[in-house]
Chains A and B, each alone.
Chain A
Amino acid sequence: MGTGFFTSVDDVSAKLAGAGYLASTAVATTVFLADRLGKPLLVEGPAGVGKTELAKAVAQVSGSRLVRLQCYEGIDEARALYEWNHAKQLLRITAGRDETWEQARTDIFGEEFLLRRPLLTAISSDEPTVLLIDETDKADMEVEGLLLEVLGDFQVTVPELGTITATRAPFAVLTSNATRELSEALRRRCLFLHIGFPDEELERDIVRLKVPGIDAALADSVVRVIAALRAMDLRKLPSVAETVDWARTLLALGASTLDDQVVRESLGVVLKHQDDIAKAGAGLKLEQVLDAS
């Protein structure tokens, strides 16, 4: 049971590129497999490498509806799955005063009084759907148990209504920053994709796509400096998002090439810790050149 959005790995790359998402071979292959095998996709990786963007791009190119569940500490069934609309149920009971209890009971636990939360929405939808469960690691352990049924069999059990099975399996994407180890049970229901930092060639293409109007040589220099920064021992390595931000900043500053002055002034866009900036300055020999000039 697959979603059948794509016909081949190359098709995935081409379509995603059309939506402004440049996928590496690993990303394209895994997306294609998830699509074909109908398995959820668990995406891990550092912040800012485009985990959430991937789900959005897939939704866009397949013309699906994107249903997003943002996880946070303390999220529960009522927020993730469904909830009964108590206020409306009360109204219904008071409105029908002279009917019997039997009638009222069968009525108030009907679809009309069910508040659908993202997971149920995605399962019960008839149109093609991309289900994005964002930052799964932020949710508590109990929610993972909930996800097992939803992602394993694409079904949800509501005690009063019975089991609702998906007529069309959604394309499910889970993202995680690995602040917490997800349970083994959840992991083995998913295909695993680790998005790391892209190689230089891909990153150069990303920069040129996201920052139109940037000079090719400048894009090249930016990517090379970022690669050098990533090889350093920093607290927070710059991600693709930072690369793009930096390229935009440089464009806004009107810099056509990199030099010490520009790099020193704009390094704050790329690195977020003071000691990282100091270390990078030493690593890129910014000070040394300053002394010489």
Chain B
Amino acid sequence: MTGGVPERLAEFVRALRAQGIPAGPSETVDAAAALEVLGLDDRSLVREGLAAALVRRGGQRAVFDAAFDLYFPAGIGTPERAREDRPTTLEELREELAAALAEGDQQALGQLAGLAVELLGQYGSASGPGGGFSAHQTLERLQPQTLIARVLAAVRGGGARGEFTDRLDRDEIRRRVEGFRGQVRTEARRRAAEVRGRERVAKHAIAPSPDRVDFLIASRTQLAELRRTIQPLSRKLATRLAARRKRTTRGQIDLRRTLRRSLSTGGVPLRPAYRHRRPGRPEIVLLCDLSGSVAGFANFTMLLVQALRDQFSKIRVFAFVDSTDEVTHLVTTGAADPEHLGARMLAEAALVRWDGHSDYGGSLRQFTANWLDAVGPRTSVLILGDARTNGGDPNLDAVREIKARARHVYWLNPERRSLWSTGDSAALEYAGVVEMHECRTVHQLGTLVTRLLPV
């Protein structure tokens, strides 16, 4: 192997670890063996080979690819294309881009991404302090999304061909533009890494895999991606819950039936009879804070628990901002998506009476006054919220009252633990009464739900 490759590989693995891909020494050795077998001639083979050795789960591939492009870049410095026959004006560049998009020519698109970052993405002095390359700036100036109509016209070559697939053209081009934006981002990261060092760029610019994105700071696209994880996640959780259920009933001997059976073998219990407990169907009550900032988290959790519906006999969902109302009928799987769910709840249920700031004290009081009978000795109560009372009374008595009636009460808090009870948060006060867990990512939510939910 040529000098420098082992070091580069080790650096790359370190970056992956920092991004939550737990590649150990044995994986690194495998990766090196893969490089040895495949050689370094073909970059796409190197990429796939390293992925086979280092990636362990499907969801990690995007992170891997982004890091790979940084540590094993396709080129160094100014792209070849930018050195000779470069388009001089923005309009020329857009013209070429439109042609490439119409063709769907991946190679040309890659070159144009490099060119665009070179021409439009630079800020400050390229090598000096504070300078660099920005994908955002490139895309702002290039505006590739405004080309869609032009590309569409080029694809159709004048008039519509009158075929069924015509209606797909627009969406296909939109996906191509989206792909081009991705290429620009990759290219900008590569150039930035040359200016500022790979490790720094890797740390900040690679998007984490969706199950590790913080609920509270997730962007729109990240939330959409999270939504796609609900179905597989709920299926996984259901399998795990079922397995736990089975384990708890295993190996308990039914003494009466064993003795009865032993009569046929002269009183010797040859075949023990096991006790089969009927699977319990526990009840769940969700109490969710839907005020602006935490709504994404609450919606997501609600949908997840609702997707697990067949595991529980009864789920009731309550939401509050400064007033509590039942929203069970609004949360139905399939039909609802988190984005509109929150809006629908705020519109159709009486959640806001005053100014739309969350009022934990009043809402909890209302819940205990009106719906306390929803909580019984078989009920597990999950309270979802950041416990930010806006300075109001936290009403710990109401929580105690709920806790006294329920089987379990858990509080899931989407804020990081170090922020609890800072500012107007009453998290630690509540945590003194009920068990409170930090639940910032889908990953944490998944583990908590299997651990906490009753079987």
**Interface of A with B (CB < 8 Å)?**
9, 25-26, 29-30, 32-34, 36-37, 39, 44-45, 140, 178-181, 184, 187-188, 191-194, 196, 220-221, 224-225, 227-228, 231, 233, 235, 257-260, 263, 275, 284-285
- How far apart are the CA atoms of A184 and B56 in the complex, in Å? 9
With A45-B58, A225-B168 as known contacts, state yes or no: A233 contacts B236, CB within 8 Å. no
- How far apart are the CA atoms of A26 and B45 in the complex, in Å? 8
Cβ–Cβ < 8 Å partners of A285 in chain B: 167
Stretch at the interface among B23-31, B86-94, B276-284: B23-31
Stretch at the interface among B46-54, B138-146, B372-380, B430-438: B46-54
The closest CB in chain B to the CB of A284 belongs to B167
Which residue of B27, B37, B58, B164 is within 8 Å of A33 (Cβ)?
A: B37
Interface centre among B61, B164, B175, B334 (most CB of A within 10 A): B164
Cβ–Cβ < 8 Å partners of B45 in chain A: 9, 25, 29
- How far apart are the CA atoms of A43 and B215 in the complex, in Å? 30
Task: Tell me, yes or no, whether B257 is within 8 Å of chain A by CB.
Answer: no
Cβ–Cβ < 8 Å partners of B175 in chain A: 231
A29 engages B168 (CB within 8 Å): no
A231 to chain B, nearest CB (A): 7
Q: A25-B44, A29-B45, A33-B52 are in contact. List 18 more A-B contacts (CB 8 A).
A: A29-B48, A30-B49, A33-B37, A45-B58, A179-B239, A180-B239, A180-B240, A225-B164, A225-B168, A227-B172, A228-B168, A228-B171, A228-B172, A233-B337, A235-B334, A257-B164, A258-B164, A275-B334
With A179-B236, A188-B24 as known contacts, state yes or no: A260 contacts B164, CB within 8 Å. yes
Cβ–Cβ < 8 Å partners of A26 in chain B: 48, 51
Cβ–Cβ < 8 Å partners of A180 in chain B: 236, 239-240, 243
A259 engages B167 (CB within 8 Å): no
Stretch at the interface among B76-84, B201-209, B227-235, B402-410: B227-235
Task: Tell me, yes or no, whether B38 is within 8 Å of chain A by CB.
Answer: yes
Task: Tell me, yes or no, whether B34 is within 8 Å of chain A by CB.
Answer: yes
Cβ–Cβ < 8 Å partners of A178 in chain B: 58, 232, 236
Which residue of B49, B163, B172 is within 8 Å of A221 (Cβ)?
A: B163
Task: Tell me, yes or no, whether B55 is within 8 Å of chain A by CB.
Answer: yes
B236 engages A181 (CB within 8 Å): yes
Which residue of A30, A36, A179, A188 is within 8 Å of B27 (Cβ)?
A: A188
With A180-B240, A259-B164 as known contacts, state yes or no: A194 contacts B337, CB within 8 Å. no
- How far apart are the CA atoms of A33 and B38 in the complex, in Å? 8
B178 to chain A, nearest CB (A): 10
- How far apart are the CA atoms of A140 and B172 in the complex, in Å? 43
A30 engages B30 (CB within 8 Å): no
B165 engages A258 (CB within 8 Å): yes
B309 to chain A, nearest CB (A): 15
Cβ–Cβ < 8 Å partners of A181 in chain B: 236
B137 to chain A, nearest CB (A): 28
The closest CB in chain A to the CB of B227 belongs to A233
Complex interface bits, B221-258 against A, C-beta within 8 A gives 1, otherwise 0: 00000011001100110011001000000000000000
The closest CB in chain A to the CB of B27 belongs to A188
Cβ–Cβ < 8 Å partners of A33 in chain B: 34, 37-38, 49, 52-53
- How far apart are the CA atoms of A231 and B173 in the complex, in Å? 13
B61 engages A30 (CB within 8 Å): no
Cβ–Cβ < 8 Å partners of B61 in chain A: 194
Cβ–Cβ < 8 Å partners of A29 in chain B: 38, 45, 48-49, 52
- How far apart are the CA atoms of A180 and B33 in the complex, in Å? 29
- How far apart are the CA atoms of A197 and B30 in the complex, in Å? 26
A233 engages B228 (CB within 8 Å): yes
The closest CB in chain B to the CB of A285 belongs to B167
Cβ–Cβ < 8 Å partners of B26 in chain A: 188
- How far apart are the CA atoms of A252 and B32 in the complex, in Å? 50
Complex interface bits, B351-380 against A, C-beta within 8 A gives 1, otherwise 0: 000000000000000000000000000000
The closest CB in chain B to the CB of A221 belongs to B165
The closest CB in chain B to the CB of A29 belongs to B48
Cβ–Cβ < 8 Å partners of B22 in chain A: 184
Selected A-B contacts with CB under 8 Å, 16 pairs: A9-B38, A29-B38, A29-B48, A33-B34, A33-B53, A36-B37, A179-B239, A180-B239, A184-B22, A194-B61, A220-B165, A221-B165, A233-B228, A257-B163, A257-B164, A275-B334
4 closest Cβ pairs, A-B complex: A29-B48, A258-B164, A30-B52, A194-B58
Which residue of B48, B52, B164, B335 is within 8 Å of A263 (Cβ)?
A: B164
A30 engages B164 (CB within 8 Å): no
B34 engages A37 (CB within 8 Å): yes
Cβ–Cβ < 8 Å partners of B228 in chain A: 233
Cβ–Cβ < 8 Å partners of B56 in chain A: 184, 187-188, 192
